[in-house]
Structure 1
Amino acid sequence: MATGSQATTEPSPDGGWLVRQHGPLKLWDGVERAVSAWQAAGRPHRSGFGLTVTRQGQKVWLGNPNGPSWNLPA
């Protein structure tokens, strides 16, 4: 489902990053939650992640499908 949501980043003068988000889905907020979850899980290698796609939705998981997981927008 296309929502028209967007997120852009650009370097800011203070050395950080300027993030702009538009649309109903706050995409960058989702990126920050994913990074925090990855860090909390001990920064596992990408080979530890999997993806399950069904008619009901999409889910990224860590370790196995019953492990920690995150639903993706469909």
Structure 2
Amino acid sequence: MDVATGSHARTMPDPGGGWAVTQRGPLRLWDQVERAVEAWQEAGEPHQRGFGITVSGAGQRVWIGSEDGPGWDLPI
């Protein structure tokens, strides 16, 4: 859930196996989760020590390895 925008995502077991995802609000939160997992996997699944965060007036960015490495922006 993103309190600032009212966006939320929910997963529920699918009767046919797997998971069903419901997303509501202006941000597609589950899509962002999937992109973050893919970036982590593409970076070789580093330990959490390999992550950093940069916070500035322009926003917040999580990165892997270095500030200019792979990463994603957090909602503000």
Match of 1:10 among 2, 9, 12: 12
Between 1:1-10 and 1:22-31, the stretch displaced more is 1-10
Compute the TM-score of the two structures, normalised by the length of structure 2: 0.87
Say how many residue pairs are matched: 74
Unaligned segments of structure 1, at least 5 residues: none
SS at match of 1:53: strand
Q: CA RMSD in A?
A: 1.3
Identity over aligned pairs, percent? 62
TM-score w.r.t. structure 1 length?
0.89
Cross-structure match for 2:55:
53
Which structure 2 segments of 5+ residues have no match? none
- 1:9-49 CA-to-partner distances (Å, cap 9, x unmatched) read 11111220110000110000101111111111111111100
- State the partner residue of 1:31: 33
With 61-70 and 24-33 compared, the bigger mean Cα shift is at: 61-70
Cα distance, 1:69 vs structure 2: 2.4
Does the residue aligned with 1:47 lie in a helix, a strand or coil?
A: helix
The Cα offsets for residues 51-73 of structure 1, whole Å up to 9 and x where unpaired, read as 11111110101112222221111
